[in-house]
Amino acid sequence: MLKQRVITALILLVILGAAMLAPVRWPLLAIFVLMSTLACWEWERLSLTQEQQRWAWPLAMLNGALMLWLSVHWYHTGPQGQAADLVYRGLVPLMAVLWVVGATGLVLQAQATQRAQGVLLSVMGVLAPLVAWASLYLFLHTQGIVYVLSLLVLIWVADIAAYFAGRAFGKAKLAPRVSPGKTWAGALGGMVAAAAWMLISANWAGSFGADVQQRWGWVATAALGLALAALSIVGDLFESLLKRRAAVKDSSQLLPGHGGVYDRIDALLPVAPVALLLSGAWLF
């Protein structure tokens, strides 16, 4: 299992790294479209009832069509025009609020079963992957690859630190009705590690941490690391809530050893739009 997990991770890193370093943007845009569509499909499979499962692929295709349209539209000109205004000044703030308020509220309640919530979850399933990838693309277009990688590393550092801190010190459960394996010690360990990464990376020109430090100062840089790590935990717990609702372990089996695409980007989905808002890059 571990060997398969490592092999899959290495293949994904090579493909994504090659796309990000390519002299043209279409390989990366193609990956964005594919991953967004698959993540949406997995999300809808988790959130829709058994009778509604027939809508999973149509909703995923809607997400893919929107992603493809934006990718073609922005390929030569970059993210600008009315479509960019709609995404970055409309959908990004909307999704940020839905994550910070809506998703956090559902996680705290440890339930997502009401009919009205089901409709909201389906809408979020279409928009969340699109907004996250659009946020990363704008970062890449305006700030560069170092900026994007430093933000991704923040999420990875928080996740890894939470795992080891939880194993070493974890006793008190963070959200036992949602994810019994999560502990307060793990959450705090991940948040502290993310804050430390923000402070360290702030010394590297072109990084997300450096941008935040220049805008808001050192204290705010550390605080934002804590906040984004907390939000990444919300993203993780929110997917766990959906999986418990659907009574499944993984969002799919598309990635051997890792589960599904959504399993790999659950923390990224809420972090990307909030990071974009706080960076000010959307005010082009």
Domains of the chain, residue spans: 2-279
Task: Give the per-residue pLDDT at 40.
Answer: 97
% pLDDT > 70, the chain: 95
Per-residue confidence band for 113, with pLDDT thresholds at 50, 70 and 90: low
Compare 191 and 16 and report the one with higher pLDDT. Answer: 191
Task: Give the per-residue pLDDT at 202.
Answer: 97
208 touches 151 (CB < 8 A):
yes
User: What is the model's pTM?
Assistant: 0.91
Q: Which two tokens stand for residue 95?
A: 């999704």
256: left (phi over 0), alpha (psi -120 to 50) or beta: beta
pLDDT (average), residues 40-60: 92
**Dist CA 208 CA 194 (whole Å):** 12
Task: Give the per-residue pLDDT at 116.
Answer: 46
Task: Give the per-residue pLDDT at 183.
Answer: 94
